Structure formats: structure tokens, C-alpha cells
Amino acid sequence: MNQLALALSGAWKVLLVSLVLGAGLPLVFAAGIRSLAWGTGGEAEVDTSARPHPLGRVLAGLCFAVVLAGIAIGITIVVASGFGKAVSFEHIYPTLVAK
């Protein structure tokens, strides 16, 4: 019974991370695409009469920056584990520490 409890305690963490990274980053990317379309002055279709919205471009840039940061942190974690390092989130920003 103890083995099952240990397996389930780790499974919910894996499920949470997979939902955040598996569905969260594509959702933020899609929001960035929509913001970029709004920032250029229209929806997804071509519209020459709409005015551009600078806030849409700023929001799109922020969304894309979040996605790129998530990808960079993921690659850093994988590469660091190959070199015998671990990523520590003790501070606000992630740092590489020895295992």
C-alpha cells in the first residue's frame, strides 16, 4: 500500500507539469498570435480598414517571451542533467547547482 501511495504522490506532480507545459505554452503562444493579429489592426482575415493597436503588439511580444523562456528553461534542465547538474529554483531565477 505504501508503494501505491508513493507512486500516486509523484503522479500528480507529473500530471500538473504536463498540463502546464503541454497545454499552457501552446495556449500562451496562441494568445500571442491572436494579440499580434489584433495589433496589426484586424482579426485573422485580411482587413485593410482596421486601425492597428500598439497594445496588441506589446501583448504578443510578452506572450512570445514567456513561451521562449519556458522552452529555454526546459532545454536547460535537460542539458544540465546530462552534465551532472540540477536546476535549483530556490531564488526567483533558476540557477544550476551540482547534484
CA dihedral 31, 50, 47, 62 (to 10 degrees): -20
Assign 92 a pLDDT band (cuts: 50, 70, 90).
Answer: confident
Cα atoms in the 13 Å half-sphere on the side-chain side of 84: 1
For residue 86, which amino acid is it?
A
In this prediction the pTM is 0.70
Q: Catalogue the E-assigned strands of 34-89.
A: 85-88
Angle at alpha carbon of residue 17, lines to 69 and 93, rounded to 5°: 40
- CA distance linking residue 90 with residue 72, whole number of Å: 18
Q: What is the pLDDT of residues 25-80, one digit of tens each?
A: 999 999 999 998 888 776 555 656 667 788 989 999 999 999 999 898 888 888 98
Residue range(s) defining the domain that contains residue 62:
2-98
| Tally of structural domains, the chain | 1
